[in-house]
Homo-oligomer: A and B are copies of this chain.
C-alpha cells in the first residue's frame, strides 16, 4: 500500500457508493427541495463533530508514537474544536431553532456507532487507524460536491448558509495535504498501512450506514425524530 493506492481505493469506494440505489434516492429527495434529509444530516454531523477533537487528541496521548504524529494530533484537535457549532448555525439557517448540540434530538444508532468506533480506534486499535478516517473525511469533498450543490440550489441556500460544508471543503484542502504527509510519515510497514486502510474502510462504511438510517428515518420510520421532521415540513 502507498498513498496513490490509498487514493485509488478511496475513489473506487466512493464510485461504488454513489452508484447505489440509496445515493440516487437521496439525490432525488434533495433535488425536490425537501429540507428534512439535509437537516437530519446536519444533526448527525453535529453529534459526530462534537467528539472529533476529543478522539483526535486521544491519539496524541498514545504511548510510543513519534513527535511529528503527536504534534499533528494536537494541532488537528485544536483546529476542530467547536466545529459542531457550524452545523448548528446551518440548521438555524434552515429554520431549526437550536442553540447547542444538546437541543437536538439524539444521534441515530449509526451515528453512535461511528462515534464509538472512532473512540475505539483512537484508544485501542493501532495508533494509525484513526488516520484512515481523517483521510477520507478530508478528501471526500470532490466526491460529494454534486450532492452539496444540488442541495444548495434546490433549497435556495447561499454559501453563508452552508458553513459546515463550504468552510470544511476549504479548510480540508490544507488538512488533506497534512493528512497525506503524516500518513506517509507514520506508515513504515505493511501493518501500518493496513491500519490506515482498515480505519478508512470501516469508518466510511459506518458513515454510509448513517446515510441509510437518515433516509429511512425521513421516509418510513421517524421514531424519536417525528416532531423534529414535522417542524421542517412547513
Measured in the bound complex, the distance between the Cα atoms of B99 and A186 in whole Å is: 21
- What are the interface flags for A102-124 relative to B under an 8 Å C-beta threshold, 1 for contact and 0 otherwise? 00000001001101110111011
Q: Which residues of B contact A48 (CB under 8 A)?
A: none
Is A154 an interface residue, CB under 8 A from the partner?
A: no
Known contacts A70-B53, A78-B75, A82-B67; A117 and B113 CB within 8 A of each other: yes
Is A176 an interface residue, CB under 8 A from the partner?
A: no
Is A177 an interface residue, CB under 8 A from the partner?
A: no
Where chain A touches its partner, the secondary structure class is: helix
Is A58 an interface residue, CB under 8 A from the partner?
A: yes
- What are the interface flags for A65-84 relative to B under an 8 Å C-beta threshold, 1 for contact and 0 otherwise? 00100110011011001100
Q: Which residues of B contact A61 (CB under 8 A)?
A: 54, 57-58
Is A163 an interface residue, CB under 8 A from the partner?
A: no
Is A60 an interface residue, CB under 8 A from the partner?
A: yes
Partner among B81, B113, B123 whose Cβ is within 8 Å of the Cβ of A67 = B81
Measured in the bound complex, the distance between the Cα atoms of B50 and A70 in whole Å is: 12
- Number of residues from A at the complex interface, CB < 8 A: 29
Measured in the bound complex, the distance between the Cα atoms of B88 and A74 in whole Å is: 23
Is A213 an interface residue, CB under 8 A from the partner?
A: no
Flag if B81 contacts A57 (CB, 8 Å). Answer: no
Partner among B67, B78, B85, B202 whose Cβ is within 8 Å of the Cβ of A71 = B78
A141 to chain B, nearest CB (A): 24
Flag if B75 contacts A71 (CB, 8 Å). Answer: no
Q: Which residues of B contact A58 (CB under 8 A)?
A: 61
Measured in the bound complex, the distance between the Cα atoms of B116 and A117 in whole Å is: 5
Q: Which residues of B contact A77 (CB under 8 A)?
A: 57, 60, 74, 77-78
Enumerate chain A interface residues (CB-CB to B < 8 A): 53-54, 57-58, 60-61, 67, 70-71, 74-75, 77-78, 81-82, 85, 109, 112-113, 115-117, 119-121, 123-124, 202, 205
